[in-house]
């Protein structure tokens, strides 16, 4: 029997609700494949601030480092919005990504056939299909660059620095090209090379890396054009490769094309098999504990954990197929509900997926 240690951070708000359902699915799938998962529950985000006075306790980070993977729910909420920026719950995310060396964020955006009506795009656009992957550099760029405030011409001013070195660009580019090799062999590299020097280095380096992947088609788009093309014709994209800030924005745009952020998972990876897995939605404290949240994004995040960190791709496919069957049978949580479907809550949706495995 194989054994793995999984760090579990339910976090805040609905993070607790959806993580509970995901863990049940993970245990059942693991048992099917003669695998034992040892879960260690940890605090980060707002709940950690309340308990320990810090969004990311040292113990949490150290336990994560000892694990094979991390499953994260959601952090944050209005309760902590008045705290200084470096003390807010979201600081835990940056601390986990940086402290664990998670430099590659993979965010798939897929429209399920039975959920096409939920997309805000016209039928003529969405009928072409959407199945893309945003590969975002996660620990560099403007979010981690030099920043500060100073006086300029007698006025208070602030600055944030966008900076990348060649090696940082190379390693994220390799992730994108390797991902494309498993998909439709097309990479769209997104930058602002007509204006930014950091983007010019980005483009030069991506072109150089592309020579190692002759089977993969590479094209380049400016970030503003990419934003327009995602709305105009998302079916043209396979793998989108981009920096930290552009990826943050574009991945959110791509998620809304699918119709519900409650359906989308993500993973943050480093060079080895270690990764942190989380849904892309927030903590939604207004519905926490009310059996209303959609657990499917968290369950899909668990599927990515099986595939990327545990090397159990077949188990991941089992979870994905179970979710498709539940959706095809007409079951919906409130965020994806349409007239004529069967509305269910968090717990029942989790139980339905569990029954299909």
CA distance 288 to 284: 7
- Out of 81, 160, 224, 286, the active site residue is 224
Q: 219 pairs with which residues across the strands?
A: 188
Gyration radius (Cα) of the chain, Å: 20
Q: Which pair of tokens denotes residue 119?
A: 């997309």
Beta carbons within 8 Å of 45's beta carbon, 6+ residues apart? 9, 11, 12, 15, 55, 74, 75, 76, 89, 90, 92, 283
> Token pair 């105009």 is at which residue?
232
Identify whether 143 is a catalytic site residue: yes
CA distance 118 to 13: 24
Beta carbons within 8 Å of 159's beta carbon, 6+ residues apart? 146, 147, 148, 149, 150
Q: How many residues does the chain have?
A: 357
- Out of 252, 337, 343, 347, the active site residue is 252
Identify whether 50 is a catalytic site residue: no
- Out of 28, 170, 192, 347, the active site residue is 192
For residue 236, what are the CA distances in angstroms to 6, 179, 231, 314?
37, 16, 11, 28
- List the Cα angle 67/63/103 in 5-degree steps: 65
Q: Which pair of tokens denotes residue 99?
A: 């402290």
- Out of 143, 164, 277, 308, the active site residue is 143
Phi then psi dihedrals of residue 20, to 5 deg: -55, -45
Phi then psi dihedrals of residue 121, to 5 deg: -80, 160
- Out of 191, 248, 318, 335, the active site residue is 248
Dihedral angle, C-alpha 253, 256, 262, 263, nearest 10 °: -90
For residue 23, what are the CA distances in angstroms to 75, 231, 256, 325, 343?
18, 35, 26, 19, 22
CA distance 315 to 337: 28
Helix (H), strand (E) counts: the chain: 12, 14
CA distance 310 to 269: 13
Identify whether 248 is a catalytic site residue: yes
- Residues belonging to the active site: 143, 192, 224, 248, 252
């Amino acid at each position: 029997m194989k054994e793995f240690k999984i760090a579990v951070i339910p976090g805040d708000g609905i993070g607790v609700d959806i993580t509970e359902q995901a863990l049940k699915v993970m245990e059942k799938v693991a048992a099917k494949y003669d695998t034992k998962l040892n879960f260690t529950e940890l605090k980060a985000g707002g709940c950690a601030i309340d308990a320990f006075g810090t969004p990311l306790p040292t113990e949490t980070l150290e336990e994560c480092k000892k694990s094979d993977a991390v499953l994260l729910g959601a952090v944050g909420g209005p309760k902590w919005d008045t705290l200084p920026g470096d003390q807010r719950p979201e600081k835990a995310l940056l601390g986990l990504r940086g402290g664990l060396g998670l430099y590659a964020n993979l965010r798939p955006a897929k429209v399920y056939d039975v959920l096409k009506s939920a997309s805000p795009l016209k039928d003529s656009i969405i009928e072409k299909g959407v199945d893309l992957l945003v590969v975002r550099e996660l620990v560099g760029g403007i979010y981690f660059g030099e920043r500060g405030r100073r006086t300029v011409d007698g006025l208070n001013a602030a600055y944030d620095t966008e900076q990348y070195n060649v090696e940082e660009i190379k390693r994220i580019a390799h992730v994108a090209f390797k991902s494309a090799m498993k998909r439709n062999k097309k990479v769209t590299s997104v930058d602002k090379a007509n204006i930014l020097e950091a983007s010019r280095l980005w483009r030069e380096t991506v072109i150089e890396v592309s020579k190692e992947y002759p089977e993969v088609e590479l094209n380049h788009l400016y970030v503003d054009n990419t934003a327009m093309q995602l709305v105009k014709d998302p079916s043209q994209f396979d793998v989108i490769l981009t920096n930290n800030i552009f990826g943050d924005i574009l991945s959110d745009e791509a998620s809304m094309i699918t119709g519900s952020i409650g359906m989308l998972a993500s993973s943050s990876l480093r060079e080895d098999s270690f990764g942190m897995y989380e849904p892309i939605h927030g903590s939604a404290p207004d519905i926490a504990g009310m059996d209303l949240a959609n657990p499917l994004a968290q369950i899909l995040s668990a599927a990515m954990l099986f595939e990327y960190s545990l090397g159990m791709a077949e188990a991941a496919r089992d979870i994905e197929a179970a979710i498709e069957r539940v959706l095809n049978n007409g079951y919906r949580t409130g965020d994806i509900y349409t007239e004529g479907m069967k509305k269910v809550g968090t717990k029942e949706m989790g139980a339905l997926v569990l029954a299909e495995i």
